[in-house]
A = this chain, B = another copy of it.
Amino acid sequence: MASEGVDPTSDRPVFRQIADLLRAQMLDGSLPEGARLPSERELMETYGAARGTVRQSVAQLKAEGLIQMEHGRGAFVRRRPPVRRVASDRFARRHRDEGKGAFTVETEAEGLSTGVEVLKVGPEHPPPDIAERLSQPPTDRVLVRRRRYLADGEPVEIATSYVPWDLASGTPMTRKNPGPGGIYARLEETGHRLSRFAEEVTARMPVPDESRSLRLSAGVPVFVLVRTAYDSEGRAVEVCDTVMAADRFVLAYDLPAG
């Protein structure tokens, strides 16, 4: 009577069966976005399982990013946050000419308030992979600019820029606020006209550090974008490493068919 739809003798473990049933309810709409799941006590009674078992079920759904748990309140079907579309033309020169950085352009296009926290600005020795992208030995220093961007007060990405020290030293890039148009505008002013960007996209689960800093809920991966900027002479003049909450972004690219 109690075990409604679960078969303890089945090959499939009970906790998976319960998770399957709950997942199905989310898909068919009987558990819509934002709805509270039955409490652990209720699940125990419904399916005739011990508390540890039903907890394993909801932990499974949590790891899949389907639900969010709130201590003392319950487990809720996760709401999809509004997705921010990141277009591949976000570094177009026309935006810089208006005195705006790429992030500000994207965010304001959606009518959101923007914020930037500068976490660190200063010389450092670059990680080996960055040094390689800049075609310089890792013993040469770079200017590191690490910052966290906010949209509507919520942290959405953490970006770290690396600029060869010989290009950065003595310029406004070494200041907290590099001035209108960001460091790309400063690089162009010093004669390095930007010609193209190479962007590499990967995705993985966040380390606890990133999870905290981006206020990620469980089961949400991060995008890692590593973008290298080249000037018109083919020299790599900047590498930017960006970690973004993957549930908040769609990356859009335009590819020629040529």
| Residues of A191-214 whose CB lies within 8 A of B | 194-208
Cβ of A250 under 8 Å from chain B: yes
Which residues of the other chain, B, contact A203 by a CB distance below 8 angstroms? Answer: 203, 221-223, 246
Chain B: minimal CB distance from A251 (Å) = 4
Task: State in angstroms the CA–CA spacing of A200 and B254 once bound together.
Answer: 9
A196 touches B254 (CB 8 A): yes
Given A195-B257, A198-B254, A221-B246, decide whether A63 and B63 contact each other with a Cβ distance below 8 A: yes
B250 adjacent to A197 (CB under 8 Å): no
A255-B88 Cα distance, complex, nearest whole Å:
7
Interface string of A202-242 (1 = CB under 8 A from B): 11111110000000001111110000010000000000000
- Restricting to A172-207, which residues have a CB under 8 Å from any CB of B? 194-207
Tell whether A2 is near chain B: CB-to-CB under 8 Å: no
Q: Which of B63, B200, B223 interacts with A218 by CB under 8 Å?
A: B63
Contact across chains for B218 and A221 when beta carbons are under 8 A apart: no
Which of under 10, 10 to 19, 20 to 34, or 35 or more describes the interface residues of A? Answer: 35 or more
If the complex has contacts A63-B63, A88-B255, A93-B257, are A246 and B195 also in contact, measured as CB distance less than 8 A?
no
Task: Specify which of B64, B83, B257 is in contact with A207 (CB 8 Å cutoff).
Answer: B64
- Whether B199 lies near A253 (C-beta < 8 A) is yes
Evaluate contact between B205 and A219: CB separation under 8 angstroms.
yes
Q: Which residues of B contact A252 (CB under 8 A)?
A: 198-201
Asked whether A196 lies within 8 Å of B255 as measured between CB atoms, the reply is yes
Chain B residues closer than 8 Å to A88, beta-carbon distance:
253, 255
Which among B93, B208, B257, B258 is the interface contact of A258 at CB below 8 angstroms? B93
Q: Would you call B250 and A200 a contact (CB within 8 A)? A: yes
In the complex, what residues of B have CB within 8 A of residue A91's CB? 255, 257
**A-B contacts, 15 listed (Cβ < 8 Å):** A59-B59, A64-B207, A93-B258, A194-B257, A195-B256, A198-B254, A198-B255, A200-B250, A200-B253, A201-B251, A203-B221, A203-B222, A204-B246, A205-B220, A221-B221
Counting from the closest, the 10 A-B pairs by CB-CB distance are A221-B221, A203-B203, A203-B246, A201-B251, A194-B257, A197-B255, A65-B205, A199-B253, A253-B253, A64-B205
